[in-house]
Structure 1
Amino acid sequence: MSQAVRIVIAGGGIAGILLATKLGDQLGRSGRAAVTLIDNSPTHIWKPMLHTIAAGTRDVQQEQIVYLAHARKHGFTYLPGEVRGLDRERRRVELGEIRTQEGAVIVDAREVEYDVLVMALGSRANDFGVPGVRSHCHFIDSQQQAENFNVVLRNHILRSVAKDEALRVAVVGAGATGVELSAELSRLLEGVSRYGDPSVRSRLSLTLLESGPRVLASFPPQISASSQQQLENIGFRVMTSTQVTSADARGFHHNDSFVEADLMVWAAGVKAGDFMNNLAGLETNRSNQLIVDATLQTTRDDHVFAVGDCASLTPRGYERPLPPTAQVATQQAEYLARHLPRWLEGKPLPRFEFRDFGALVSLSDYAAYGALGRIGFFKGGIIRGRAAHLGHAMLYRRHQRALHGLGKASLMWAAEQVNSLVQPKIRLA
């Protein structure tokens, strides 16, 4: 009996876990392929939700998916580890050591063999080499970073109350992450006010800094203007056309001026991991993303695919590469899940065709906006209010349904509704 095809998926983000789930159900259960998912975290969180985990306005325990249990149910193998390199000649993925928080080695560096490799390692904020950012700023690129930030945030809130002083927060980057995190912090402090000192919310002094001329630059100008107005209405200072030149323990330097802050968050720019720059001779761009062609195969190796934020694809008819969004990652994972099994049988891959359904942004309970894409009757239209809030919520429900099926996803939604009635609306401890 011939050995099953070894499909290795590096990265368990939106694209990675969705692809592993679907290929595991299709190929792994029947033994037609051995599907392996590699990730350095034991759990999956929908990335657009990370700002709510960071703020403590959503229960991380309720929303996370344990890879090991999910893999067991869907016919694939979960392997913990951090991808550090690639040997294309021997077709092996190189994993780094696994260490405890104290630095002790638990598992030595090792290699994983593959026949087909799908890189789905996601992205992180780009500090652009600005001095002091790595040393003094928080990043919200992973579940661990979001939870760490929440611990620090709650300590700062406690100190603010105990010392009767302001809580000064500065966020660099007014894309969706920076804007949504800012609004969620306001909602958190409003919630804390209901449980104790009613003046807690008034202590929050938040500054949002953006190097470009407007917030939410990827959205239509009307949404940018409305979002900025909403942020200013809840008491935040929004500074556009502001280039941060350095950071230190006291705050951000910019344009020959200074913004003081107790908590500093960097949410600007997007890039793949530094180790991916020219990884194993593969073609990459300045953001370390792997260049792929219309079939999502890397340009120099047909057996290495890339999807999601770590991939760069410029479809025909587009002037720029597709943006690093959940929508793109989901569609690319669905494309490979549909066509990769047939490719393994020797059939050609069709072109990946992106369908632009638009984009949504939610400013917590305050407001929500949506820009409709190229698909549908109201092409290029704008929605706001309850319709946009519902659309934003449905994106996550669709992700849950794709991973768990309609029945379990419905039960998970029902459990969330019940918990919201008996549990605090925010994380208090």
Structure 2
Amino acid sequence: MTVAPHLREAAAAPPEPLPDPAFFNGAARAGQSACPRIVIVGGGAGGLELATRLGDRFGRRGRASIVLVDRAPSHLWTPLLHEVAAGSMDANTHSTDYVAQARWHHFEFQQGELCGLDRSARQVSIKAVVDEDGEEVLPPRALAYDTLVLAIGSMTNFFGVPGAEQHAMSLDAVSQAERFRRRLISACMRAQTRLDKAPGERARVDVVIIGAGATGVELSAELRNTAKVFGAYGLHRLDGQNDVRLTIVEAGPRILAPLPERVALGTAKLLDELNILVLTDERVTRIEPHAVLTASGKNLRADLIVWAAGIKVAPVLGEIGLPVNKIGQVPVRQTLQTEIDDNIFALGDCASCPWPEHNATVPPRAQAAHQQANFLFDAIGRRIDGKALPAFRFRDQGSLVSLGRFNTIGNLMGRLTGRTLLIEGLLARLLYVSLYRAHLVTLHGFLRTVLDTMAQWLRGKTVPRIKLH
């Protein structure tokens, strides 16, 4: 395998403090220019934010070479996938092309999937990229690194339930969300056709969502909104409130287990008002093509099944020789360095990071990935300058659950009072939207984010409220 070409030489800059000579080892072995090479595997929220900021700070000046690796060609903020699945968001207008982002922010993008690691040679191996016809587009490659950051995120955990992987859909990627949306539209059109042929028949579409965490709850509310809108676009006989039946199945005693109980109670009340059935203390034992079976003996009819009951990390990290926990996360120290190699860092869902204040590990949330990306931006800068690394401290800022246009509810952590503050309605909605906008500001800057927001608002006035094809 050949080593991927290096970034172009950056323009000359004023002299800067040189990094530790050990940083040059990987570059020297690869026959490349003597500047530290930082490889980030995973272009999710944390990985892309880190690559963008490091590129602007170090890539622009030629002080470091930054390479981002991801198997997909573009990025979409993961918390938006339920909106894509429901058809209320067009992924194409909200995604970021990695190649363009790399061009604008002075880093290199390599498309491909991680498949190997040689820690002694400081190289990662990347699989070949093939197109939809199975033709090879990019060959397998080996990328040298001086600092490696793992940010591969997480995937759905089916917990070994028979039939789950075969018959239930997950929402780990845009392609999966788009597939669910197409199947939803097809199911609704078939129900409308049955009503046209037999007006007296009560046709319906049954959607069963397994897991009452934030993803499952937000998806159910967004789907109810979509079902109500369908009537305006041709499915006039389909009652969006009653003919599209939504059921959430949760193995635990209540929904939204990580959030305070009062948040869960308020959300459950609103779900009931939306005619969304919530079944708690129901453990799924088997998934069939059109049915969900539970331990209590229930047999739930289902046209579409979504699994949103848990996460794990892709097994590749263990396969390439790194120690992992039972869900595939790499244990890291407070510096976010792996326990076995100071040159390898991990952040986000794929990292098991200590949270000493709570005698636990940092929860796999978007805010954690964002905070860890900010931390590593500073830490890697210190590493380049030969300084000691600080310790990461996670600050829980609370959680918000968006129920689409119906409501937003959540809790904020009060730093002064030390207590949680329950919020809902317009304020909660604005804060929820601001999380996404803050992500965009990190990627694109304030001015472009404002202009993009205005453009999307104007576009929303000339297109349907949901994506219909």
Q: TM-score range by the shorter chain?
A: over 0.9
Letter in 2 for 1:127: F
Letter in 2 for 1:72: R
Letter in 2 for 1:70: Q
Does residue 405 of structure 1 match 2:445? yes
CA distance in 2: counterparts of 1:212 and 1:35, whole angstroms: 43
Equivalent pairs: percent with the same residue? 39
CA distance in 1: counterparts of 2:166 and 2:347, whole angstroms: 30
Q: CA RMSD in A?
A: 1.5
Does residue 39 of structure 1 match 2:70? yes
Aligned to 1:276: 317
Aligned to 2:42: 11
8 Å Cα contact 2:192-2:237 kept in structure 1: no
Aligned to 2:429: 389
Residue 344 of structure 1 deviates from its aligned partner by 1.8
8 Å Cα contact 1:282-1:301 kept in structure 2: no
Structure number with bigger Rg:
2
Residue 339 of structure 1 deviates from its aligned partner by 2.2
CA distance in 1: counterparts of 2:33 and 2:364, whole angstroms: 38
8 Å Cα contact 2:248-2:278 kept in structure 1: yes
Residue 110 of structure 1 deviates from its aligned partner by 2.4
8 Å Cα contact 1:53-1:147 kept in structure 2: yes
Q: TM-score, normalised by structure 1?
A: 0.97
* Worse overlay, 2-11 or 31-40: 2-11
CA distance in 2: counterparts of 1:266 and 1:126, whole angstroms: 9
8 Å Cα contact 2:36-2:65 kept in structure 1: yes
8 Å Cα contact 1:170-1:261 kept in structure 2: yes
CA distance in 1: counterparts of 2:117 and 2:183, whole angstroms: 36
Kindly report which structure 2 residues correspond to 1:292-303, keeping only aligned pairs within 5 A, or say none. 292-303=332-343
CA distance in 1: counterparts of 2:257 and 2:116, whole angstroms: 34
Kindly report which structure 2 residues correspond to 1:46-85, keeping only aligned pairs within 5 A, or say none. 46-85=77-116
Does residue 427 of structure 1 match 2:467? yes
Q: Match of 1:364, SS?
A: coil
Aligned to 2:381: 341
Q: Match of 2:158, SS?
A: coil
* Worse overlay, 240-249 or 155-164: 155-164
Q: Match of 2:223, SS?
A: helix
CA distance in 2: counterparts of 1:172 and 1:271, whole angstroms: 16
Letter in 1 for 2:374: E
Aligned to 1:112: 143
Aligned to 2:238: 199
Residue 167 of structure 1 deviates from its aligned partner by 0.7
CA distance in 1: counterparts of 2:135 and 2:272, whole angstroms: 47
Residue 101 of structure 1 deviates from its aligned partner by 2.3
Does residue 140 of structure 1 match 2:179? no
8 Å Cα contact 1:167-1:262 kept in structure 2: yes
Letter in 2 for 1:166: R
Q: Match of 1:171, SS?
A: strand
Does residue 262 of structure 1 match 2:293? no
How many correspondences in the alignment?
428
Aligned to 1:187: 225
Aligned to 1:89: 120
CA distance in 2: counterparts of 1:37 and 1:383, whole angstroms: 37
CA distance in 2: counterparts of 1:51 and 1:216, whole angstroms: 16
Q: Match of 2:342, SS?
A: strand
8 Å Cα contact 1:187-1:364 kept in structure 2: yes
Residue 341 of structure 1 deviates from its aligned partner by 1.4
The 4+ residue runs of structure 1 with deviation greater than 3 A are 376-379
